[in-house]
Amino acid sequence: MTGLPLPPVPEPYHLPFHYGALHTIGVDYLVEPERARRLLAKRHPGLSVAAFDGGACVSLNYQLYFAQYPNGGGITQELEINLIAHPVFAEDRIPAVNYGQYARGYDQSKLLGSARLHVLCDNPLAIDAGRRLYAEPKHPGWFETTVPSLNAPAVRERWAVSCRRAVLGTEGLRRHQEEVIALDVDLVGLTPESVNSTPITGYGTDDEGKLLAGPLNAHQPYRYYALDDRSADRVRLDLGNPAEEPARDLAQLVGDAPAAGVWTYQSAPVAARNRAYYVR
């Protein structure tokens, strides 16, 4: 059989990795493309920045997910900083779509994907798995969040995510109070569209310079919020110490560009324990 070999799946990992629940928010920015090209060339030389409406797309993606294992369960939070890109060799195969069409899932070639620049994560196992399975530039961080939840009905379509610095040591994650990146997104009163944008391709480059692609399938549609001049201020991005590389790169890429779109995904509940009643 001819063709490329598949990347290895080192022990103790197994693929596919199944999410028991996933809650996520993404924020996209259309930015000056030349800065994006320079940064992408350093991190992923096998990729080219995708062009949307004359700009490059920086995509931030916060995830809270649960996974069940034979010996228990685990909860992970992470924040991806991505550039939307495609393989260099595929320039002539990319559909001609603008940002709105891309966000609505018009591109089903799935050559357009998330080139990961930084992934900050609070789970040591997930950090190791992301590095070894998908060549993700994954590093420790920890989170303080407020997200919509059926268990707190007063919190409706308001997302606040603060990612703070952490160090990974022999005893696990050591937290520091220094804020690296913070997002505050108020979607109250905005009308979302149901969009099918999966599978989502995630790109990584391993230590040998090989380009990897890993698809993520979400089993229900995303909710997409198109932003304009009247609604872009619903998103606030705060960056911490510029000595922290993720904050520095985001500052260079995004600058004062307004948010172009927001997308969310929340797993449907699978069971509910109802209110008690007296038995006489």
Given pLDDT bands bounded at 50, 70 and 90, which one contains residue 203?
Answer: very high
pLDDT at site 148? 94
Topology of the domain comprising 21-266: Acetoacetate decarboxylase-like (2.40.400)
pLDDT at site 241? 84
Strand pairing of 21-31 and 56-69? antiparallel
**Pick from 125, 94, 242, 227: nearest CA to 181:** 242
pLDDT in tens, 79-91: 999 999 999 999 8
Q: How far apart are CA 88 and CA 15, in angstroms?
A: 27
Please answer whether residues 264 and 24 qualify as being in contact, where contact means their C-beta atoms are separated by less than 8 angstroms.
yes
Q: How far apart are CA 33 and CA 214, in angstroms?
A: 25
| Mean predicted confidence (pLDDT) in 200-204 | 97
CA distances from 225 to 67, 133, 273 (A): 28, 32, 32
| Mean predicted confidence (pLDDT) in 273-280 | 95
Joined tokens for residue 167: 């160090």
Higher-pLDDT residue of 11, 3? 11
pLDDT in tens, 131-182: 999 999 999 999 999 999 999 877 788 999 999 999 998 888 999 999 999 9
Q: How far apart are CA 180 and CA 79, in angstroms?
A: 11
Would you say the pTM of this structure is higher than 0.75? Answer: yes
Domain spans, the chain? 21-266
Given pLDDT bands bounded at 50, 70 and 90, which one contains residue 1?
Answer: low
Q: Which of 2-11, 157-166, 213-222 has the lowest mean pLDDT?
A: 2-11
CA distances from 21 to 18, 143, 204, 218 (A): 9, 18, 24, 10
